[in-house]
Amino acid sequence: MHSAATAKFLKRPGLRGLAFILSLLANMALSNSALADDFQFSGQIRNLWTSTENNIHDPVSKANQFVPGLIPEYNNDASVEAELHASTRGVTAIATLQGQAVDQGRTNATGWLNELYTGWGKNEWQFSIGKKIISWDVAYGFRPNDMIQQEKRQTFITSTLIGRPVAMAEYFNADSSLALVWVNPDHSSSVDASVEQAFVARAYHHAGSLDMYGFARYGQETGTSLGSAAAWVATESLELHASYRYSQKMAMLTLVPPPALLARTSPWQAPLTNNIQQAAIGMTYTTEDQHSFIVEAWWDGAAPSSAQWVQWNQRNLALGQLASAMPSLQTPVAYNLAWQSNLLAAANNLRRKNLFARWSKKNGAWETAIDTLYTPEDKGHATSASIDWQGDRWHIDAGIRIYGGPATAVFAQIPQNKIFYTSATWAF
């Protein structure tokens, strides 16, 4: 019998059906001996705690100064996730249940399917259909040719992604492969590439120490994208990689100038922009005593331009001056400042030019790492330090990320100055 807390948890939208699926899979794993040789079941339970030092110079904090609570800002966030993996007779499923508590006991419970697909094949051909994680490209900090998953990189904790609806055919031989994917077949038109219906292909060929890739995508609204990538293992310690993508169209957030400084609706729109280029180049180097280095540079033509950020800074300043000169307008100013924060979440990269470096050192079960992302256009930086321990079943993580730069740098104006985190994961 469920406790009252459990019953309340299961009443939340979508959780009852997901919990039923998970319990059914677990019961099958424990009681159905007929499938014992074919059924595989595993999972992990993880807690994550983050503590944030909020900025006082960003648009969000300024908006909240004029209208308190307009945009929620949290200092502490604690969550517990149960992630379950199951597979049997060609069907693979990964599901997650999450409970979350933020400042002053505000709680939330949710669940989702990371993957649920079936696969089959014969000889060199394999087929799959369903919700599946498909993550491509060769770089670490930014992957231009991640045309399906479009994963956000440089997160605090490595977690299982949420797949996309696909129908997929793959061909393999000793040195080459070909993947043909129909993405989001249940959607019609959308300029959002994560849900846009598209046809995507990837070709791969291995030649000695060189891996070569070719990519193509045709989206219902965004048109054609073409890309290529290569990774070369130069020595036992050194690897070099590069990636390039050209896109016919991409949705990019752009300021539509309102008739006056104060707009009645958000002036930030996302029209399709033509002829976008993205590229990344980098290297990894590992020493005999387990020091590892990653150095990368990339250009993201889908990120806001320098001119856009100059315009953004000027508008922030003008809105603040207007609120000081005319206190009666603080409420509409607050809403306009809140809309300004939309640009901070508009793309995978905040600036077009990026430099990234990472050092890590393994010592038995321990690994220490320091990395920094630097934006030379405005001299902003995001610097992280972490330490983790890997046991047979337990994995412990802890770290800090600090954002900064000159006052006009984008990284100096995001809602958080510092983020501390700890996580413990138990696998079963």
Q: pLDDT grade, residue 34 (50/70/90)?
A: very low
Rounded mean pLDDT of the chain? Answer: 88
Q: What DSSP state is assigned to residue 321?
A: H
DSSP class of 35:
G
pLDDT in tens, 291-304: 999 999 999 999 99
Over the stretch 177-230, which tens digit does the pLDDT of each residue have?
999 999 998 876 666 767 889 999 999 999 999 999 999 999 988 999 999 999
The residues, any chain, with a CB within 8 Å of residue 291's CB and separated by 6 or more, are 359, 360, 361
Element spanning 339, H or E? helix 330-340
Judge whether residue 1 has pLDDT over 90. Answer: no
The mean per-residue pLDDT over the stretch 407-419 comes to: 92
What are the pLDDT digits (tens) for 95-154?
Answer: 999 999 988 678 899 999 999 999 999 889 999 999 999 999 999 999 999 999 988 887
Domain ranges of the chain: 4-427
Query: Quick one: pLDDT at residue 38?
Result: 83
At 27, the pLDDT band (50, 70, 90 cuts) reads low
Contact 411, 350 (CB under 8 A): yes
Polymer length in residues for the chain: 428
Written as one string, the DSSP assignment of 70-120 is SS---SEEEEEEEEEEEEETTEEEEEEEEEEEETTTEEEEEEEEEEEEEEE
- Predicted local confidence at residue 330, as pLDDT: 93
Look at residue 387 and tell me whether its pLDDT is greater than 60.
yes
Task: Indicate whether this model's pTM tops 0.95.
Answer: no
Cα–Cα distances in Å, from 331 out to 69, 70, 172, 259, 334?
12, 10, 60, 18, 5
Q: What is the DSSP letter of 26?
A: H
Phi, psi dihedral angles at 165 (to 5 degrees)? -65, 125
Strands (E), 287-379: 291-300, 353-363, 366-375
pLDDT (0 to 100) of residue 139? 94
Highest mean pLDDT range out of 34-43, 245-254, 373-382?
373-382
Given pLDDT bands bounded at 50, 70 and 90, which one contains residue 72?
confident
* Distance separating alpha carbons of residues 355 and 29, to the nearest angstrom: 47
Q: Is pLDDT above 50 for 28?
A: no
- Confidence label for 37 from pLDDT (cuts 50, 70 and 90): low
Q: What is the pLDDT of residue 159?
A: 85
How would you classify residue 147: left for phi > 0, otherwise alpha for psi between -120 and 50, otherwise beta? alpha
pLDDT of residue 31: 47
Single out the residue of 202, 248, 210 nearest to residue 228, CA to CA: 202
CA 298 to chain centre: 17
CATH architecture of residue range(s) 4-427: Beta Barrel (2.40)
Q: What is the pLDDT of residues 317-350, one digit of tens each?
A: 999 999 999 999 999 999 999 999 989 887 789 9
pLDDT digits (tens, 9 = 90+) for 82-101: 999 999 989 999 999 999 99
Higher pLDDT, 226 or 262: 226
